[in-house]
Amino acid sequence: MSSSIQRRTVLPALAALVAAGLGGGAASAASTPNPPDVGCFWAPYTNVTPATPEGNVGFPATGSNVTYFLNKFTLPAGSHLVVRGTYPQARYMSFNAYYSDPVYGNGIPSDALYDQQIRPDAGSANPFLPGAKRTPHKKGRNWTVVVSGETPPADPAKRAENTLYAGTIGPDKDQPAELFYRVYVPDKNTDVFGNGGVPQATLVLADGSELSGQALCDATNVDRSRLKPNSMPNATFQQLTHLPANPAINAAGSSPMAPAVESGPWYRPLNPCHFTDPFFEAAGYPRQSSCPDTLGLTQWPTKDNAYISAYIDRRFGPAADGRNIVVLTGKMPTTPRTFKGNPRFDGSTQMRYWSVCSNEGLVTTAVTVDDGCVYDEQIPVDRKGNYRIVVSMPEDRPANATRRNG
């Protein structure tokens, strides 16, 4: 069975490598409590573990490495949300706004704000700034963000401070939107929210009146249903993995391992149209020329991230019975050390976050195992910063692939 490997980059200094298909696992970053009462505004938080398989859609990070709050709602014309919260003790936090498109599907990012872009409230401090004190101190850690129904300004210099622009359909209209709040890698001995709690929202209507609690949820038609991923129909997958040979263009057709190929090339999926590129190229066909080369990912990606992926198949390799393993090698980018409660935030690193996940593919958009992601601080490196990651089925796991050996 073919699977895929994917790579994810958050910010100029926040990145992740995502491996899909053959297993793996890692210790969770923080303890996983019972889902808290998040009120009517947020859907119950998504933290993919064996106890929360319903969140295993859209290629999520698993375990306690990343926690998601989400909400689907409609901003009445002329209104905005005021969201207040506390900076978590964590590697990264962000807000992302999304919209749906009849062609590309659900979960297209429209705007984002990440931790360093969010100015703290008066008397508070932002622990994500370079060199900032990360651990609790006398100053507060509070912030306030405005979620606007306007479209993002074309000129970044004209953005209002601490404002997320969720608009996509123009002014003076009710604006449907989706909002995600993410926390990456909560510190050790904190909860999955990095002890930052649940952000609280207030709706400010066009006439200046304010609504909160159930009145807010009623006025914005909050939808707390689970996400509907942009999955590939199985019939389409079967067609794409059984492309015929075409001697006229020297296309050999799909192999039994399609879309995986032995060389394992990496792809950057610019938009859903390009998701078929590996299938055609594995069969010797050119990519679809009609696909635009504009960035338009779906599946609710973090806007600060960039992703690359590759399909893998255990049947490639020297083992005659097809029970091979995949070995990933490379040099780890530098990232901040935060999990053990490091006292200061290191702003000099190459990336903010880097990880590898094991995913099933486009039909399910799910990770393959209960805790199928590992991130930078969980991955051993040698003195030169080089890593070796083995991806395998559980029954093919090498005997020396133990936690003691990294």
Q: What is the pLDDT of residue 189?
A: 93
Q: Taking the alpha carbons of 130, 135, 140, 145 in that order, is the dihedral positive or negative?
A: positive
Q: How many CB atoms lie within 10 A of CB 202?
A: 16
Q: What is the pLDDT of residue 14?
A: 38
Buried (b) or exposed (e) across 360-385, using 16+ Cβ within 10 A?
bbbebbbbbbebbbbbbbbbeeeeee
Please state, in angstroms and rounded to a whole number, the distance separating the CA atoms of residues 228 and 237.
18
Asked if the peptide bond before residue 259 counts as cis, ω within 30 degrees of 0, the response is: yes
Token pair belonging to 345: 């935030």
CA–centroid distance for 27 within its chain: 19
Give pTM, 2 decimals: 0.85
Please state, in angstroms and rounded to a whole number, the distance separating the CA atoms of residues 314 and 270.
27
Q: What is the pLDDT of residue 283?
A: 94
pLDDT 10s digit of each residue in the chain, 406 long?
Answer: 455 544 443 443 333 333 333 333 333 444 444 455 678 999 866 666 555 666 666 566 666 688 888 889 999 999 999 999 999 999 999 999 998 877 777 788 899 999 999 999 999 999 999 999 998 777 899 999 999 999 999 999 999 999 999 998 877 899 999 999 999 999 999 998 899 999 999 999 999 999 999 999 999 999 887 777 777 889 999 999 999 999 999 999 999 999 999 877 888 877 778 888 999 999 999 988 788 777 766 677 888 887 888 899 999 999 988 899 999 999 999 999 999 999 999 999 999 999 988 888 888 777 776 667 889 999 999 999 999 998 888 888 888 887 677 6
Buried (b) or exposed (e) across 92-113, using 16+ Cβ within 10 A?
bbbbbbbbbeeebbbbbbbbbb
Token pair belonging to 111: 């705007």
Q: What is the pLDDT of residue 370?
A: 63
Q: What is the pLDDT of residue 51?
A: 56
Token pair belonging to 249: 């263009």
Residues 6+ apart with CB under 8 A from 115: 87, 92, 93, 94, 126, 128
Token pair belonging to 124: 């508070």
Q: For residue 267, which of 9, 3, 7, 1 has the smallest C-alpha distance?
A: 7
Q: What is the pLDDT of residue 309?
A: 85
CA–centroid distance for 34 within its chain: 22
CB 369, CB 27: distance < 8 Å = no
Name the one residue in this structure whose structure tokens are 């004209």.
158
Q: Dmax of the chain from CA atoms?
A: 73
Please state, in angstroms and rounded to a whole number, the distance separating the CA atoms of residues 240 and 283.
9
Q: What is the pLDDT of residue 53?
A: 63
Q: What is the pLDDT of residue 402?
A: 76
Q: What is the pLDDT of residue 263?
A: 78
Q: What is the pLDDT of residue 226?
A: 72
